[in-house]
Amino acid sequence: MADSNLNVVIVGGGIGGLFAAKALIAQGIKVSVYEQAPALGEVGAGVYLTPNSVRHLVRVGLGPAVEKYGARVGTASRYFRADGTPIAPVQVTDSSGWNATFGMHRADIVEFLAASLTAGVVNSGHRATGFAQSGDTARVTFANGATAEGDVVIGCDGIHSELRPFVFPPSDRVYSGSIAYRGTVPHAQIPDWPNDAWQMWLGKGKHFLTFPLRAGTLINFVGFVPADEALKESWSQPGDPDELRREFEGWAAPVGKILAQVQTTFRWGLYDRDPLPVWTKGRLTLLGDAAHAMLPHLGQGANQSIEDGMALATILARSDRKHAPAALQAYENLRRERVAQVQSGARANGLRYDSLYADLAKRDAEIQAHANFRKKLYDFDVVPQAEAAALALAS
């Protein structure tokens, strides 16, 4: 049972930070979230939720919110070559056949996670600038002059994390060589477009993805293209729709059909980081992109953050103030290898999607076989492992 006096400070009010807060509070732990933006909510487009994280959203009572705000992705989902030749179906269930695969608007997830928290838990307008710890106290300082103290501090502040350097020396981001054009198109503008399918077209050095959002009323699109110029990761750097259309000129008719409707798009430079050997120092640990920024080519960034939050809450629920640093280390030990595998898998899948193969038949066969990897990824439930880790800690 959790120590009722255990007090957790979360820095970062994105998906990872808000879910961690929800999972910790469900275990009876006191939580405060500090977000640098003046208000919650992000500019952004689609996020892909998969069974390995949806099971945890269901556990904390948010299954109805996922059903309400999401768009379930069904068995019509396909991979295609750039000319429209079908390659393979997309794996949308776990091994048991459970379809908990949803297209979600990022702003919707942030909204329903925040709405599920008690008033006063989230404090906006707080940009972390410093960290210190001594004895049984950890302290975060903010640019506005405020401070927050807790028994545990969780850095959920993304790839540009202010708290990461207090755990491990700064390292360079790794630029993938690609940028993503992102945006949405109202389904009403293309009423015959499937509103329950994840579809991807693959060409040399480029690929184009669509999936539904908001109960199928929006179509999310992402065009991945090579670029020498490394761009700052941003959801809000404007892109040129005509430039995007030129990038995919001559591709299969559905790609041109949706691009003809694009009026606004944003460009996002694709970066990740090499796996960190250390996530935790004393009473400070990292979660989500702060710990393991990854490329989007497995659709697992948000999903792995949610897994992190569930693991951490499960372990801390069986700890107390004195043993909190050991609990954080147990969390890191549990999660570090899995997310490193997902990070490297996302890099490999990006090369596969961009058709950097002399023999496309080999690439197509790998995509067909990839369903088995997806099943294992989606079958994973972090809770039994976290419970075992917590028991080992107590023994």
Q: pLDDT per residue over 356-369, tens digit each?
A: 788 889 999 999 99
| pLDDT tens column, 26-51 | 999 999 999 998 877 655 679 999 99
**Looking at this protein, which amino acid is placed at residue 313?**
A
Chain Cα centroid distance, residue 13: 13
For residues 285 and 167, give the distance between their C-alpha atoms in angstroms, rounded to a whole number. Answer: 8
For residues 210 and 223, give the distance between their C-alpha atoms in angstroms, rounded to a whole number. Answer: 9
Given a cut of 80, is residue 185 above it in pLDDT? yes
Secondary structure (DSSP) of 188-219: GGSTTS-SS--EEEEETTEEEEEEEEGGGTEE
C-beta atoms surrounding 144 within 10 Å: 11
For residues 182 and 231, give the distance between their C-alpha atoms in angstroms, rounded to a whole number. Answer: 14
For residues 245 and 308, give the distance between their C-alpha atoms in angstroms, rounded to a whole number. Answer: 38
Considering only residues 226 and 73, tell me which one the structure prediction assigns the higher pLDDT.
Answer: 73
The mean pLDDT value of the chain amounts to 93
Phi, psi of 393 (to 5 degrees): -65, -35
Instruction: Please choose, from the candidates 275, 280, 271, the residue with its C-alpha nearest in 3D space to the C-alpha of residue 168.
Output: 280
All domains of the chain in start order, with CATH: 7-172+273-394 (3.50.50.60)
Beta bridge mates, 391: none
- Residue-level pLDDT at 296: 93
For residues 149 and 54, give the distance between their C-alpha atoms in angstroms, rounded to a whole number. Answer: 31
- Residue-level pLDDT at 1: 42
pTM beyond 0.85, yes or no = yes
Contacts 24+ apart (CB under 8 A), 187-196: 187/212, 187/216, 187/217, 187/218, 187/219, 188/217, 189/261, 190/219, 190/257, 190/258, 190/261, 193/219, 193/254, 193/257, 193/258, 194/76, 195/71, 195/219, 196/71, 196/72, 196/73, 196/74, 196/76
74-103: average pLDDT: 97
Confidence of residue 191 (pLDDT cuts 50, 70, 90): very high
97-117: average pLDDT: 96
DSSP state of 121: S
Of all residues in the chain, what percent are helix, strand and coil, respectively (each to 5)?
35, 25, 35
CA 137 vs CA 118, 122, 333, 382: distances in Å: 24, 21, 22, 28
For residues 266 and 235, give the distance between their C-alpha atoms in angstroms, rounded to a whole number. Answer: 6
